[in-house]
Amino acid sequence: MPPASRTGGSIKLRKKISISFFCALALSVAVCQQSDWRAHWESKLAQWNSKDGFVLALLGKLDAKLMKNACQNIQWFEGGEVPSCYPTAWPSWALRQRAQLLREADAGVQPKGDTLTFFLSGPGAMEEPAETYLVFPNHSVHALWVSTNKFRDGVVYWLLDPSQENLDMIWLPDTTPRYFGPNATLLSSKTMGQRLRSSIFPGNVP
């Protein structure tokens, strides 16, 4: 039987090897997940047609300043690659505008179950952190959020411009989008709702 000191040293060495292997495996999984996420978006963005001056891009670490003005509290997603937040963390001016846009969208809609408010807050409602932003022809930058409902058809796109404190909303309950907000006319003229849904999304998560 080997001396106790050598046995103890052997056990410690095996523990170190096991810990090192586990850390390497965890790092490998994280890197693969980031690669899958980026590969998914790069393939989607390759389909985007920006000949009319609109550019869709991925959020990254260098966009933290943009998102700091778009979020009350920034979180880091996709392995620390994406500075973002959920819509509930928007600044107060954006939440006020959101409430106004919902009132406009819900006006005259009956029954209550068919309203956009119910779509966004009822059973199955899903909201994800922004992972992309849309640059307009005038170079304004709009962080892009997507809201869906797993029990119902439809999708909502939110375009938040923190520099001008503007919020636009595109609501697609079916194939015909409805536009709300200060850039509604421009976005409608460029069929932005159909372009986002057919070329880039339906959802924000691969």
Q: What is the DSSP string of 18-60?
A: HHHHHHHHHHHHHHHHHHHHHHHHHHHHTT---TTS-EEEE--
Residue 26 binned pLDDT confidence (cut-offs 50, 70, 90): very low
Decide if 178 contacts 116 (C-beta within 8 A): no
- What are the sequence ranges of the domains in the chain? 1-46, 49-200
pLDDT band at 23 (very low <50, low <70, confident <90, very high): very low
d(CA 152, CA 135): 30
Determine the average pLDDT of the residues in 33-49. Answer: 62
The residue whose two tokens read 């000191």 is: 5
**Residue 52 pLDDT:** 83
90-143 pLDDT, tens digit per residue, is 999 999 999 999 999 999 888 888 899 999 999 999 999 999 999 999 999 999
Calculate what percentage of the chain has a pLDDT beyond 90.
57
What are the beta bridge partners of residue 161?
166
- Residue 7 is predicted with a pLDDT of 52
* Predicted confidence band of residue 28 (pLDDT cuts 50, 70, 90): very low
Lowest mean pLDDT across 2-11, 41-50, 87-96, 120-129: 2-11
Would you say 202 and 150 are in contact if contact means Cβ atoms under 8 Å apart? no
Is the backbone peptide bond immediately before 83 cis, with ω within 30 degrees of 0?
no
| Between 38 and 122, the higher pLDDT residue | 122
Q: What is the pLDDT of residues 145-176, one digit of tens each?
A: 999 999 998 999 999 999 999 999 999 988 78
Q: Is the pLDDT of residue 2 over 70?
A: no
